[in-house]
Homo-oligomer: A and B are copies of this chain.
Amino acid sequence: MSDQNPVFIPGPTNIPDRLRMAMSMQTKDHRAPDFVETFAPVLEDTKRVFGTAEGEIILFPGSGTGGWEAAITNTLSPGDAVLIARYGMFSHKWIDMCERHGLDVRVVECPWGEGAPAERFGEILADDTAGEIKAVLVTHNETATGVMSDISLVRKAMDGANHDALLLVDCVSSLACVPFEMDAWGVDIAVSGSQKGFMLQTGMAILGVSQKALNTMEGAKLPRTYFDFRDMRKAYVGGGYPYTPPVQLIQGLRTSLDMLFEEGLGAVYDRHVRLAEGVRRAASAWGLSLCAARPELYSQTVSAIYVPSGFDSNALTEHAYRAYGVSFGVGLGEMNGKAFRIGHLGMLTDVMVLSGLATIEMAMADLGYPIELGSGVAAAQEHYRASRANALRSAA
């Protein structure tokens, strides 16, 4: 099986050669002056991607899940109440983590396909006159359903309720792909990772942390050492790290930032919208529906697409892999068997996306789906052609 086809999973994303080479750096001493000189500007420049001037960046060797754990253990104490909605696999998993850490988790159940229920949050927070709720947790981009929530609405609801809970946001699969405005949205901790919009290997949780969050840090009683912000911040002052840092990933992040800034963050965001829209038009041409309930919830990084009734989406993704050597996202949780997912994030081109659409069309045809070969491709082509001029302009 050739390994030359792109992947269309919603991350880890296809790694550009320049980043593979950056991460292929030979061992360097993390206590040597070179590392110090590299590390501080990486932290500083990462802020731009988070949209923060006030906040700080903290990097943990680990996955996004580790980032979640860092977010809650550094700000909360056993028994603290947190408010969170369940509308997909990743919000579900964060809820589970909170429960296992002994938090009082107040869950708003939403249909999968919906996003963060800002209004309902507002009501609950308004009712919480005792201030029991210490944090609101939101999954920005719910990868399981292809739903992107509007964080500014959550902030508005919190402000409307005059509630000073922290706002913790999982932006693992959205950061560096779509605009993120940590300061403007009043996000206290934003949790991302290396393997999505930053286009790197899995292995680093990347967090933006507000001063407000840092102020709660000392009082937070959930035990942590590995993920303790305090050790990190203390070490960062001297350009160091509390334990062995993943120097290759940090070098990769340096180059990733260079690439993002060279293309221009605005151009990167526009590219994601452009590619995503092509995928959605393809789905529409196939007569298939997205899991996301409404256009304003459409994710620009992943589309979860229902298969027609009577078909098994797992058979489809497995067939696409075995027959054509292409990976698509399986349906997760409630969507298992019912939907497949096309990841369209990271350093992707329209040409690559078209190959994914052509592949899944073949796989669907092979399994007897009532779709016309080439129809989704043509719909996406039409969009990519039309939008190309704009994309070229914004890249210039």
Residues of A with Cβ closer than 8 Å to B?
1-7, 9, 11-17, 20-21, 23-34, 60-66, 68-69, 78, 96-97, 100-102, 193, 195, 201-203, 222-228, 242-249, 321-327, 330, 347-352, 354-355, 358-359, 361-362, 365-366, 372-375, 377-378, 381-382, 384-385, 388, 392
Bound CA span A64–B245, Å: 10
Chain B residues with Cβ under 8 A from A381's Cβ?
A: 358, 361-362, 365, 373-374
The answer to whether residues A202 and B4 also contact, given A326-B351, A382-B373 and a CB cut-off of 8 A, is no
Chain B residues with Cβ under 8 A from A246's Cβ?
A: 63, 201-203
Bound CA span A203–B194, Å: 12
The answer to whether residues A358 and B362 also contact, given A24-B20, A202-B245, A223-B101 and a CB cut-off of 8 A, is no
Interface of A is mostly: loop
- Copies of this polypeptide in the complex: 4
Chain B residues with Cβ under 8 A from A26's Cβ?
A: 3, 14-15, 17, 20
Chain B residues with Cβ under 8 A from A378's Cβ?
A: 372-375, 377
Are B2 and A323 neighbours in the complex by a CB distance under 8 Å? no
Chain B residues with Cβ under 8 A from A21's Cβ?
A: 21, 24
Q: What is the CB-to-nearest-CB distance from A78 to chain B, in angstroms, rounded to a whole number? A: 8
Are A63 and B323 neighbours in the complex by a CB distance under 8 Å? no
Residue of B at shortest CB range from A230? B100
17 contacts between A and B (CB under 8 A): A12-B27, A12-B247, A20-B24, A61-B61, A65-B225, A69-B225, A96-B225, A201-B246, A202-B245, A202-B248, A223-B223, A351-B359, A362-B385, A374-B374, A374-B377, A375-B378, A377-B378
Are A365 and B377 neighbours in the complex by a CB distance under 8 Å? no
Q: What is the CB-to-nearest-CB distance from A95 to chain B, in angstroms, rounded to a whole number? A: 11
The answer to whether residues A330 and B11 also contact, given A61-B63, A202-B244, A381-B358 and a CB cut-off of 8 A, is no
Bound CA span A242–B64, Å: 12
Bound CA span A5–B14, Å: 12
The answer to whether residues A32 and B373 also contact, given A20-B24, A203-B61 and a CB cut-off of 8 A, is no
